[in-house]
Amino acid sequence: MFLSLVALLFVVACSTESPVGDNGNGGSEEGELTIGFSISTLNNPFFVTLQEGAKAKAEELGAELITLDAQNDDAKQVSDVEDLIQRGVDIILINPTDSSSVVAAVEAANNAGIPVITVDRGADGGEIIAHIASDNVAGGEMAGQLLVDLVGEGAKVAELEGIPGSSAARERGEGFNTIAQGSLDVVTSQTANFDRSEGLNVMENILQGNPDIVGVFAHNDEMALGALEAIDAAGKAGDIVVIGFDATDDAVAAVEAGRLAGTVAQQPTLIGELAVETALKVFQGETVDDFIPVELELVK
């Protein structure tokens, strides 16, 4: 009789134990938040810092963050988001490689019932629950006004554009040209895809065709730093004013050294932190703003 009672108690104890473990889709334990983060590229210091901010905040809040690097490949980003959907994440953060091509990824998440938050760059379609970014138009205006102040009215300048189709490139260019129109002579605007080596190569070509330019606005610091290399190699160091955007560590060091005239600080760490905080609010059923701006600062 005693042995039967012990056996019965053992069965009851096992059957009432709380289930803990993987949900079968790569997500975290029940009740915890799992965030998928599709980032455009981790080959850019700005996005590395942004991802680190998101990771640190996720650890602080007890959430799981799964980051996939799209490597600036539109098709890979769509595939990465589909992978995150299959893993059963609760929220997806997307930093688009391209604002148009990312729509397919956003819609895939929408169809799976997973809320989407865009980070730094926006999407041209699909249902976005919140967008977290700096005001890129205002930042472009800040850079444009600084360039006017430094080179003077009517000066010949060049513009290095970011990835065609990205919201950041469109908006920074819009802000810059709002100031430049009627104040500067923008002799050429060419894309260097937010890339340092491309910035160097494009700047070399610009200098050959336009040797009399005195200023450059680059849509990000990587291109600005590449442009500086080309300017130095051409023996024009100090003759051409260069302004970037992002305030990466390398760019700030270049400003402090007097090589880069200025850069617009976006606070990528804060963008990453706000993205995760917003994801948690959405997960908990709270209402969030459609656009969550992050303050800009001019570093010069």
Given this model, what pLDDT does residue 186 score?
Answer: 98
Residue 272 near residue 294, CB atoms below 8 Å: no
Q: What is the pLDDT of residue 24?
A: 33
The full set of domains in the chain, from first to last, is 32-135+268-295 (3.40.50.2300), 136-265 (3.40.50.2300)
- Tokens 């937010």 locate to 194
DSSP letter assigned to residue 230: H
Averages of pLDDT over each 10 residues, the chain, 300 residues: 37 32 39 94 96 98 98 98 98 97 98 98 97 96 98 98 94 98 97 98 98 98 98 97 96 98 95 98 98 95
Exposed, middle or buried: residue 182 (CB in 10 Å: 0-12, 13-18, 19+)?
A: exposed
Return d(Cα 255, Cα 272) in angstroms, integer.
Answer: 24
Name the one residue in this structure whose structure tokens are 């895809």: 193
Q: What is the pLDDT of residue 220?
A: 98
Taking alpha carbons only, the member of 158, 101, 154 closest to residue 124 is 101
Q: How far is CA 285 from the centre of its chain?
A: 25
For position 31, what pLDDT does the model report?
66
Q: What angle do CA 75, 80, 85 make, to 5 degrees?
A: 130
